[in-house]
Structure 1
Amino acid sequence: MPAPSPAVAIDGLVVHRGGVEVLHGLDLRIPAGSITGLLGPSGCGKTTLMRAIVGTQIVASGTVTVLGEPAGSSLLRDRVGYVTQSPTVYLDLSVRQNIAYFAALYGRPPRSVADAIDALDLADKADVPAGDLSGGQRGRVSLGCALVAEPELLILDEPTVGLDPVLRADLWGRFGDLAAAGTTLLVSSHVMDEAEHCHDLLLMRDGYLLDQLSPAALLEQTRETSLEHAFLTLIREREVQEQS
């Protein structure tokens, strides 16, 4: 039986910003129906890579194929959800109105709005204008606007920033449920302990893809007991290889 097609296939991706090359010939595959963690320090190119997958980033060379279509294709508009680091909500609308607006855009039933609100623990804020919420709460509303569309591919740029540990754990549980139901998730983070929730990891530094492997394989390869130490060990090993 042939292997299933990946949700995202990238070959030789090069991106320039401000005349400087910021992504250096990336090759990777994101398996369908899984949670892939995009991990690395701030400024390493995670957001640029995500923008390239969504189709909002100008690409110097290489190909980005998403759900069998070129990234940015009009055929992907209702199949790909993207949540940016900065919440994108209408400040004069309530939480419920924001999510209901996106539900209507994608033809989702009214019940989906309540489900999204409940899933993100926003029931007590449902009728509060988004402009009166904290930054973390607005981030959850932005995520709800993406979740209610039920996309096949959900791209999340550091969605847990500013959330308390309990809500972070609940949110990762929700991501796991989505993946189990067939949704593909790409989740970026600079917090290595979140990697344990992922099926697969993309490890980036300075615009390069250091490796793609599972959390267990990363620990085994580096002979470390924590994912943070394993990532640091991987970086040191690559630096030694480059100098030799």
Structure 2
Amino acid sequence: MTNAIVVTEGLTKRYGEHTAVNGVSLTVRAGEIYGFLGPNGAGKTTTLRMLVGLIRPTSGVATVLGGVPGDAIVAARIGVLIEGPGFYPYLSGRDNLSVMARYRGLSDSQVDDALERVRLSDRADDKFRTYSLGMKQRLGVGSALLGEPDLLILDEPTNGLDPAGMAEMRSLIIDLAASGHSVLLSSHMLSEVQEICDRVGVISGGTLLAESTVAELRGATTMLLRAEPAAVAFPFVQRAAGSQRTMLTDKGIRVEVGADQAPALARAVVESGADLLELRPDERSLEDVFFEMTTRRELEAAK
């Protein structure tokens, strides 16, 4: 794939008998926001640390911007925020970025540009210890922007933020992608990923379960049916729509058919003797898809 800027094949990391990342093969394309989605402990951070050369894989390979993770030429072209920003608390935001810029041989003008892009220019001369959590996260993104990297790798950038801070960070990431940066973003916030990401990789227990666009993962509009008792109606709905298209969830019975099948579904509930409470078109959220995937994986692992 010519526009791929991150490619992994069978990437694996073991610590003794524990496998943190198990054979992950993913692709991040130029110009996209790629969401690396999974619960805490799924292997997201370990994978990102391998991609930036902080740790070496046990097996498998990774290519970043056409080079080897950790190579100096590759490192100069990526901006990284992993496991929260670490700055000197007694220095101002500007001075913290200036230290990093000088270490990398960058000019003070790039510090000013980074502060402006993360909307911290008006607080740039305040000490880091006075910053709110959201401001600290934004300064961390600002440090990742130094040197105008082609690729930004951000690990849980909204972690610990209040709703306003999360919205602000989402807006910032969208702006960064619009200005030409590719973004690889890890998160356990499914609604966040659904809102801003072009494609996602879903990881659980160290294994990549799926990789696709958000729209493809969510699939077509389905029908949501609520009946009482649901257990009585469910087998009749299965026969009407097909067992592979029917799933009993905590929200009701989800049926993967179009709205034109609504009359047949209603008749099935009536025939079962259950009461039909609701029948409507429904779009699956990324959260619905994720829990279906992980539940299915747990059931298969238990066999």
TM-score by length of 1: 0.89
1:136-175, CA deviations, whole angstroms, 9 ceiling, x for partnerless residues?
Answer: 3322222211113211111001011222333322322222
1:219-234 alignment runs, 5 A limit: 219-220=218-219, 223=222, 224-234=283-293
Structure 2 residue runs of 5 or longer lacking an equivalent are 223-282
Counterpart residue type for residue 201 of structure 1: V
Deviates more, 1:208-217 or 1:69-78: 69-78
**CA distance in structure 2 between the aligned counterparts of 1:217 and 1:242, rounded to whole angstroms:** 25
1:76-101, CA deviations, whole angstroms, 9 ceiling, x for partnerless residues?
Answer: 12111110223211222210111233
**CA distance in structure 2 between the aligned counterparts of 1:52 and 1:216, rounded to whole angstroms:** 28
1:185-236, CA deviations, whole angstroms, 9 ceiling, x for partnerless residues?
Answer: 1111111001121001010100000100111111107955221112111222
1:115-130 alignment runs, 5 A limit: 115-130=113-128
Summarize the Cα distance change of 1:181–1:117 in structure 2 as closer, same or farther, 3 Å threshold.
Answer: closer
Counterpart residue type for residue 228 of structure 1: E
TM-score by length of 2: 0.73
1:143 matched to 2:141? The reply is: yes
Structure 1 residue runs of 5 or longer lacking an equivalent are none
**CA distance in structure 2 between the aligned counterparts of 1:35 and 1:95, rounded to whole angstroms:** 27
**Partner in structure 1 of residue 12 of structure 2:** 14
Deviates more, 1:176-185 or 1:146-155: 176-185
Identity percentage over the alignment? 37
- Size of the aligned set, in residue pairs, is 242
Deviates more, 1:132-141 or 1:225-234: 132-141
Q: Which has the higher contact order (CA 8 A, sep 6+)?
A: 1
1:3-51, CA deviations, whole angstroms, 9 ceiling, x for partnerless residues?
Answer: 4231111011110124422111111111111100011100010000000
1:32-71 alignment runs, 5 A limit: 32-71=30-69
**Partner in structure 1 of residue 157 of structure 2:** 159
Partners of 1:222 and 1:233 within 8 A in 2: no
**CA distance in structure 2 between the aligned counterparts of 1:24 and 1:127, rounded to whole angstroms:** 45
> Residue 97 of structure 2 is aligned with which of 99, 102, 107?
99
**CA distance in structure 2 between the aligned counterparts of 1:71 and 1:38, rounded to whole angstroms:** 18
**Partner in structure 2 of residue 185 of structure 1:** 183
1:48 aligned counterpart, secondary structure:
helix
Summarize the Cα distance change of 1:39–1:240 in structure 2 as closer, same or farther, 3 Å threshold.
Answer: same
Summarize the Cα distance change of 1:20–1:202 in structure 2 as closer, same or farther, 3 Å threshold.
Answer: same
**CA distance in structure 2 between the aligned counterparts of 1:149 and 1:74, rounded to whole angstroms:** 13
**CA distance in structure 2 between the aligned counterparts of 1:92 and 1:160, rounded to whole angstroms:** 24
Summarize the Cα distance change of 1:206–1:84 in structure 2 as closer, same or farther, 3 Å threshold.
Answer: same
**CA distance in structure 2 between the aligned counterparts of 1:19 and 1:125, rounded to whole angstroms:** 47
Counterpart residue type for residue 44 of structure 1: A
Deviates more, 1:102-111 or 1:198-207: 102-111
Partners of 1:12 and 1:26 within 8 A in 2: yes
Q: How far 1:121 moved relative to its partner? A: 3.1
**Partner in structure 1 of residue 129 of structure 2:** 131
Partners of 1:33 and 1:181 within 8 A in 2: no
Partners of 2:37 and 2:203 within 8 A in 1: yes
The alignment's C-alpha RMSD in Å is 2.2
Which protein is bigger by CA-based radius of gyration? 2
Partners of 2:152 and 2:181 within 8 A in 1: yes
Summarize the Cα distance change of 1:181–1:133 in structure 2 as closer, same or farther, 3 Å threshold.
Answer: closer
Summarize the Cα distance change of 1:16–1:207 in structure 2 as closer, same or farther, 3 Å threshold.
Answer: same
Deviates more, 1:149-158 or 1:228-237: 228-237
1:29 matched to 2:27? The reply is: yes
